[in-house]
Amino acid sequence: MNKMNKMINSILLVDDEDLFHLVFEDACSILDITLSLEALNSSDEADKKFSEWFPDDPNHERPECVFVDLNIIGSSFDGIELIRKINTDYGNGCVIGIISSSDDNQEIEKAKAAGAQFWLVKSDDIEPRLEQFRNDYDGYLDKSNPFKVYK
């Protein structure tokens, strides 16, 4: 039961790559990270959902944690802009960060400035980073953890 308490209530993944949705879902399930995972393909779609979730009721069905890809092909804006919108336009109510194959320092700084709490580098071996993230999660939830890059 203790392990279950550590699970993240709900995760939203915004990534244009369908295959990565499967990888992320399986990795989360194997590592018991969450029981509820929703995946979206575009930042526009995510933006629309957040604009519906937040204005009237801040405790609406918004996810507890959001993973956003940096470059989302087929979207009007990138992951950093989505984070800025979620944090500033709709109100900061969730743990949010970037999940990307890039580890470009400039982009990382931009994400940090937009309000991202973490940067997780995507690679073939994503499970150890997700596990580290899960261990640090409580600190992100109560905003006590500083920005961290999981390489």
Partner 1 sequence: MGINKVCRDDLLKLANEKRIYLEGNILKVISANDGDSEFIEYLNICKNKDKDSRIKRLSVTKQVQAQNKELVAKQRENDALMEELQTALEEAKNAEWEADKLREEAEKGKDKALEDLELMQKKTQFELIGQIVKVALWVILGVGIITTLLFAFTLVTGKENPILESTWSNLFGILLTNSFSIIGTIMGVKYATEKNE
Q: Please give the residue ranges that form the binding site for partner 1 (CB under 8 A).
A: 4, 17, 19-20, 22-23, 26-27, 29-30, 32, 35-36, 124
Neighbouring CB atoms inside 10 A of 64's CB total 18
Longest dimension (CA), the chain: 42
Closest to partner 1 by CB, 26 or 52: 26
Q: What is the nearest approach in angstroms of partner 1 to the Cβ of residue 126?
A: 9
Q: What is the nearest approach in angstroms of partner 1 to the Cβ of residue 35?
A: 5
Q: What is the nearest approach in angstroms of partner 1 to the Cβ of residue 34?
A: 8
Cα separation of 1 and 18, whole Å?
A: 32
Q: Rg (Cα) of the chain, in Å, rounded?
A: 14
Closest to partner 1 by CB, 4 or 142: 4
Token pair in block for residue 84: 């800025």
CA 121, 7, 139, 82 torsion: positive or negative? positive
Closest to partner 1 by CB, 37 or 116: 37
